[in-house]
With several copies, the nearest count.
Chain A
Amino acid sequence: MSTHTIVLGVIGADCHAVGNKILEAFFTRAGYRVVNLGVMVSQDEFIDAAIETGAAAILVSSLYGHGEIDCAGLRDRCLERGLDRILLYVGGNLVVGKADLAATREKFLAMGYDRVFPPSVELDEVAVLLRQDLAAKDEGR
């Protein structure tokens, strides 16, 4: 079984560090090679790191409410820069305000993210999905 590399980070001007540290600990323990960019990561920094490390997925966090602005265009930028098969996950308090989950999910799926998670998500469930999605990707290869 190949060890996948995944890139983690908190996008934009967002400084929320706690969830990010937990994601790092969790996915490391789950057997991934984790490249954690920490907080305040720009779209290009995510892409640079993914290219450099041959990552299979980027897990974007946005907690502070500007996700709608910061996350837009990441998929296009990936394609532009030749990352045409990368998984994009996004999670956190993605928009400003207590929003309808389904509407937020639609919004971010439309932006090109493969999966969209609320802050209350159980990480074990994410791990299952990530395993499945990566396997499907590997098969499709």
Chain B
Amino acid sequence: MDFENKRIPDERFDALRPEVLGAWPTGREVDFDEGVAFHHALPEDKRFPVALDRADAERRVLLQPRAGVALLEEHIALLQLLAQEADVLPTTIDAYTRQNRYEEAQKGIDKSRQAGHSLLNGFPAVNHGLGACREIIERVPKPVQVRHGTPDARLLAELTLAAGFTSYEGGGISYNIPYTKKVPLQKSIEDWQYVDRLVGRYEAAGVRINREPFGPLSGTLVPPFMSHAIAIIEGLLALEQGVRSLTLGYGQAGNLMQDVAAIHSLRQLARQWFEAEGYGDYQLSTVFHQWMGGFPENESKAFAVITWGGAVAALAGATKVIVKTPHEASGIPTGEANLQGVMATSQITSMLVDQQASLVALVQPEIERIKREVNTVLRAVKTAGEGDWAKGAVRAFAAGILDVPFAPSVHNKGKLLPVRDNEGAIRLFDFGAVPLDMDTRAFHAAKVKERAIAEGREPCFQMVIDDIYSISKGRLVGRPR
């Protein structure tokens, strides 16, 4: 079959399935119809899409931590602890499972049993199998999402969705470029078309499952327009396969105006492009990630970064905020540290949620700028794909039209270089091959120049390095010392 942005025909999907389920013994446990029945019996307050809708209606920001450990009981206990203060919960998958290295995941489970504590950086859901995943849903009182970073996440999706998870993070671009080195983009997009089609089939069976492309990408100085463009492409790919509940994401940049503008523009752009491409009748929400780059080691300082993220999420009116912890710079957090991050965020989001309206007028110019950039890039992607978004995405990465700063993938050009301006907004230092118009280029150059003058140095790569370290060293703009 051709590689293109077209709904996978049922015959083809059914033909692929045995191979997917056969990749690891637990795959045999999957029974789609039984899964659908289980979902139908799920109470409302365990359903992710319901929680998202309610939050937007009530203008509340949902709080979601990341969390996953090697063993089932410990994992459930962890989520139960976090459920005290979090609105929706995660099951974060370990990094071996993300690479489909189930043998190594098994070693990690075994060694964790011996060590008496988790040696894995997440919950190896595939190895644990369907029954274990089901237990999570049954014993945790709130909606649970699978959060990972898996380029081929087909088996993981089959297992966890059948088990009753009601939201699934990732996408063919956002779980490839920042998370892998060599996986071809066409391969990961195809594999994610499978996942989205699976979600579409649940939808057709009356079971709504939320899908969330991973917004922050490399988490490091990603300009909003680039992550927005990719989020919208992943949204289009998902809609085509029948997904009907989408949460588009964005990782905090650090500048108040840019971040608020980013969330507003993300919603507006998504609606525009989805409509223009002929999709209606879907549920759209946004997720704001607290600072995804390097954190300060000191826990009090980490609390400040966490709180600022929560503040901006609330002021921007995001539907959901992904919460960091005071242990971020050091290692996977204990349950207590994780809960602390949620509590700090809870305080600040509920303190600020009534002040959303105040900044809208102010951020309008930045909204317009982001829109213009995204529209330019998306048009170029569509052209590259001769009208097809799947082909367009692959070709755009090859050409550097889409380019994610600091991503590890060899399929990413890595020519686009971001840098902060004098107020800490992320601008472009080197445009690489991204086809921005001349006015936009002039704007970025002027902003970077302004900072360079303030610092008495030429725009240079050291500036970018300084910006990478800045928040972990207690600044936003990486000024020379």
A residues sitting closer than 8 Å to B (CB atoms) are: 12-18, 20-22, 25, 38-40, 64-66, 68-69, 93, 95-99, 119-120
Contact = CB atoms under 8 A, between A and B. Distances in A.
B98 interface: yes
Given A13-B101, A66-B121, A120-B297, A97 B334 contact: yes
Contact of B98 (A13, A38, A98): A13
Interface string B88-127: 0000000110110100100110010000011111000000
Contact of B111 (A15, A64, A69, A99): A69
B408 A98 contact: no
Interface string B120-157: 11000000000000000000000000000100000000
A31 B147 CA distance: 41
Contacts of B220: 18
Interface in B149-171: 149
23 contacts: A13-B95, A13-B99, A13-B101, A15-B95, A17-B178, A18-B468, A21-B406, A22-B465, A40-B181, A40-B408, A65-B121, A66-B119, A69-B119, A95-B331, A96-B118, A97-B118, A97-B327, A97-B332, A97-B333, A97-B334, A98-B337, A99-B330, A119-B330
A69 B118 CA distance: 12
Given A69-B104, A97-B334, A98-B333, A17 B119 contact: no
A93 B331 contact: yes
Contacts of A20: 408
Nearest to B407: A17
Main SS class of interface, B: loop
A70 to B, nearest CB: 9
Contacts, number: 94
Nearest to A95: B331
A113 to B, nearest CB: 18
Interface residues of B, number: 40
Given A22-B465, A66-B95, A66-B108, A15 B121 contact: no
A93 B327 CA distance: 11
Interface in B305-334: 327, 329-334
B312 to A, nearest CB: 22
A38 B218 CA distance: 15
A8 B330 CA distance: 22
Contact of A18 (B96, B297, B334, B406): B406
A95 B101 CA distance: 19
A66 B408 contact: no
A15 B330 CA distance: 17
Given A38-B410, A98-B337, 6 more contacts: A65-B120, A66-B108, A69-B108, A93-B330, A96-B118, A98-B327
